[in-house]
Structure 1
Amino acid sequence: MTAHRPAPALPRVGAEKRSHRERVADALRAALIAGELREGEVYSAPGLAGRFGVSATPVREAMLDLAKEGLVDAVPNKGFRVTAVSAQQLDEYTHVRALIEIPTTVGLATTADPADLAALRPVAREIVDAAAAGDLIAYVEADIRFHLGLLALAGNDHLVAVVGDLRKRARLYGLDALVRAGRLTASAEEHLELLDALLSRDAQATHTVMTRHLSHVRGLWASPDHP
């Protein structure tokens, strides 16, 4: 994994509705999930501020928010250490996500407003574009918006919050390898395939695509340290 890939300053969509601190926190979470910030390594606020093109103060505040979520630990006089995630934890996250997301998404094949589903297509295309560009942080940020936006159509805010928390704790260490192998775009296109199945009101196809898509997640979470 390239440890110092240039990162976008902040997530682009919805920025005007969120505080500067929240937007920096979103960008840092995406970097962490994408594996740009490696577990066990210590990062200083000034160093991260330089990478993200912002001042150190919102980065420090955002990292304190991530510490409350258990994603990083504060290291006195040095910065913040990214917390480790075990293979068992990754398996548990995958299992819980499958239990929640597959039946919920399949249900949307018959209940979701087609206009609401169609509104997610630009986000799905953002995922594909980010994959093609090898922009891992933009990929993760758009992927989160897509899946949480899709689940929100079921009308259960608590469900969305649970899945959102699971996604924050993930580590997609396999993304960089997929970019190098030219395979990340194919994985990204599954989001468009999923929307097509939903808009066709095809519950079986939705189940097939969603099951395949989530099966890829655990593979992405795998690394030499997390087989």
Structure 2
Amino acid sequence: MIKRSTLRAQIASALRDEILAGRLPAGSHFTVKEIAEQYGVSATPVREALVDLAAQGLLDVEQHRGFRVHEFTIDDYRAMVKARMVVLDGLFHGYFADDGPVPMLTLDDAVLASVRRRAEAAVRAARAGDLDVLIGYDLRYWRELGDVIGNRYICDFLDRLRVQCWVFSVPCLRAERDLANRLWSGHRELVDAVERDDAEATQRLVTDYHQHALALAEKPMRSGP
């Protein structure tokens, strides 16, 4: 028998994926009963999962009506990217402090190998314009890289911002006819720079990552010929 806490997490994860993929678009309204019937489970773990997603900023609670997928504005997106920029830059600055970075070789080789696998998969997906695959690998890549060089509280905050940024940008990106050229693909270069303790290259790549994200809000998204 599946524990309620596990079921709650599974439902929250499944719904988050639906929101990230745009299959539950911004403004979509639903009730606990509707989701419970959809997944064939009781209302309690569904309600708990929806409350968890609301706490992550992905859902709005509508009094006596249910839940609605939160609508992020372009100003929200810019603010989230800039907040992510400040925190991520601080994270890398702390790693490359005056007393030197924590040597990567002291880490479990399996940890670094996992980050590199995520990087390779993310790069392939970005260059192929495969948005659905990219999102999953991109989130896991940044989470694992953050765990390598930071602490879990900062990583939790950055992960939340990154999810919210994807939720805003996915509908715009899906309308883009040249998607492969609009997706950042510096994952492998960045982990290589961090591994060799190259602060200058790391800063350059992280700056490019920030600028690429902000450019999505500045350049018009085009569809069609």
Deviation at 1:188, TM superposition (A): 4.8
The two structures have a TM-score, normalised by structure 2, of 0.70
1:31 and 1:194, CA in 2 relative to 1: closer, same or farther beyond 3 A?
farther
Under a length normalisation based on structure 1, what TM-score does the superposition of the two structures give? 0.70
Quick one: structure 1 residues 152 and 112, their matched pair in 2 at CA, closer, same or farther if it must change by over 3 Å? farther
Letter matched to residue 119 of structure 1? S
Deviates more, 1:190-199 or 1:99-108: 99-108
- Cα deviation per residue 1:61-113 (whole Å; 9 max; x = unaligned)? 42232123332124578753111223332222111111111242355463252
How far residue 121 of structure 1 moved from its aligned partner, in angstroms, is: 0.9
Deviates more, 1:19-28 or 1:191-200: 19-28
Structure 1, 145-154 or 106-115: larger mean CA deviation:
106-115
Deviation string 1:1-57 (CA, Å, 9 cap, x unpaired) is: xxxxxxxxxxxxxxxxx9232233234324424444322222466876899xx5455
1:151 is aligned to: 146
Residue 125 of structure 1 and its aligned partner are, at CA, apart by 2.5
- Answering whether residue 178 of structure 2 is matched by residue 181 of structure 1, we say yes
| Distance in 2 (alpha carbons) for counterparts of 1:121 and 1:102 | 21
Partners in 1 of 2:217 and 2:9 — Cα distance?
25
Cα 1:126/1:43, change in 2 over 3 Å: farther
The alpha carbon displacement at 1:216 in A equals 2.0
* 1:18-167 correspondence runs (5 A): 19-43=6-30, 54-55=39-40, 57=42, 61-75=48-62, 79-105=66-92, 107-108=94-95, 110-114=101-105, 115=109, 116-131=111-126, 132=128, 134-136=130-132, 138-167=133-162
CA distance in 2, matches of 1:40, 1:212: 32
- Distance verdict in 2 for CA 1:43–1:160, change over 3 Å: same
3-state SS, counterpart of residue 149 of structure 2: coil
C-alpha distance in 2 between matches for 1:143 and 1:64: 25
| Correspondence for 2:209 among 208, 213, 220 | 213
SS in 2 for 1:80: strand
Classify 1:182/1:32 alpha carbon distance in 2 versus 1 (closer, same or farther; 3 Å): same
Secondary structure (helix, strand or coil) at the match of 1:64 reads helix
Q: Taking structure 1 as reference, are residues 70 and 106 closer, same or farther at Cα in structure 2, changes over 3 Å only?
A: closer
**More helix by percentage:** 2
Q: How many residues align?
A: 203
Alignment of 1:190-209 (within 5 A): 190-209=186-205
Retained in 1: the 8 A contact 2:24–2:69? yes
Q: CA RMSD in A?
A: 3.5
> CA, structure 1 residues 49+133, in 2 after alignment: closer, same or farther (shift >3 Å)?
farther
Identical pairs, percent:
29
Which has the higher Rg, Structure 1 or Structure 2? 2
Decide whether the 8 Å contact of 1:42 with 1:81 is kept in 2: yes
CA contact 1:108–1:198 (8 Å) conserved in 2: no
- Segments of structure 1 that go 5 or more residues without pairing to the other structure are 1-17
What CA distance in whole angstroms lies between the structure 2 residues aligned with 1:50 and 1:215?
A: 43
Unmatched segments (≥5 aa) in structure 2: none
Looking at structure 2, the residues matched to 142 and 46 of structure 1 have their Cα atoms a distance apart, in angstroms, of 32
Identify which of structures 1 and 2 has the higher relative contact order when contacts are C-alpha pairs closer than 8 Å and 6+ apart. Answer: 1
> How far 1:151 sits from its partner (Å)?
1.4
